[in-house]
Amino acid sequence: MSIRFLGLLIGTLLISGPAGATLDLVTNSPLVMSPGQVGGGSIVAGVTNSDAVPPAADNLTGWQTTLILIPDAGATGTIGFLSAALPASYLLAGINFGLSTTISTTTSTNDSLFAFDANVPFSGGVAVPVAPAAGLLEMEFSASGDASGSFGLFALGGLGMTEWSDNAAAGPTPREFANVASTGATRIGEIRIPEPASVLLLGCGLVALAGGRSRR
C-alpha cells in the first residue's frame, strides 16, 4: 500500500466527528525570487491553533495537503515546485511515519504538490501551539527565465485533499483546517518575481544612495 493511498484512505474512510480544535494552515510567504532562479529560497507551511486551551483529544496525529500554483493576472512565465522536505522545527519530529511527497505536472510545469505524514502509531499526537506556527513542510521552487509578477500558492480543500487528524480515543478523526475552504482552492501563500525593470531601478537607486553617502 503506497503512503499516498494510506493518506487518502485516512481522509475518506473515517467519519468526521464533531468540531474540534481550530487549526489553520499558514505560510511564512511571500517569497521573492528572480527570473530563472532554481531553489535558493523556500516557503514553510505550518499550523497554528486558535484555541488557547485545545481539548485533550485534539492533538494532531497526522496531516496531508494538496497544493497548487496559480499565476495572478499579469504574471508571465511559470513557477514550479522544485522540492519538499521537513522543516527544521517540524511538529511531529521524532515520532513521524516519514514524509511522503508527490510533485506533479498538470500544465507545463510542476505546479501540484501532495504531501502527507503522521505519527506512529496513530495515537497520542502533538498539541499545536497558538503561536508561532509549528512547521509542517518546507518547499523550494523554480522560476522560468521569463517569469515575472506574482503567483499564488493554494491549498485544495476537502477531506482527502487538505486535512489534519486528531487523537480521538475511537481512532484518528480527519478534520479540515479552519482557514481552508471545504471546496475549491484557498490562497495560503505567494511568490513574487519583480520585473527586470523594477530590479534595475532598485539597483540604480542603491548605487546613487551609496555615492551620496561617500561624498559626505
The three-state secondary structure class of 197 is: helix
User: Which residue would you say has higher pLDDT here, 52 or 212?
Assistant: 52
Task: Provide mean pLDDT across the span 78-107.
Answer: 92
Predicted confidence at residue 173, as pLDDT, reads: 87
What does the pLDDT look like over 12-49, one tens digit per residue?
Answer: 333 344 456 789 999 999 999 999 999 999 999 999 99
Tell me the DSSP string of 152-193. EEEEEPSTTTSEEE---TTS--EE--TTS-SSSEEEEEEEEE
Domain locations in the chain as residue ranges: 3-215
pLDDT in tens, 119-173: 987 778 898 988 889 999 999 999 999 999 999 999 999 999 999 998 877 778 8
Tell the CATH topology of 3-215: Immunoglobulin-like (2.60.40)
Instruction: Give the per-residue pLDDT at 21.
Output: 77
Where residue 112 falls among pLDDT bands split at 50, 70, 90?
Answer: very high
How confident is the model over 62-67, as a mean pLDDT? 96
Q: Which residues are within 8 A (CB) of 111 and not within 5 positions of it... i.e. 6 or more apart?
A: 68, 69, 70, 78, 79, 80, 81, 105
Q: What is the mean pLDDT of the chain?
A: 83
User: Higher-confidence residue: 116 or 207?
Assistant: 116
The predicted pLDDT at position 1 comes to 37
* Amino acid identity at 199: V
Statement: the pTM of the whole predicted model exceeds 0.85: no
Residues, the chain? 216
201: confidence class by pLDDT, cuts 50, 70, 90: very low
Is pLDDT above 70 for 190? yes
Asked if 96 and 119 touch (Cβ cutoff 8 Å), the reply is yes
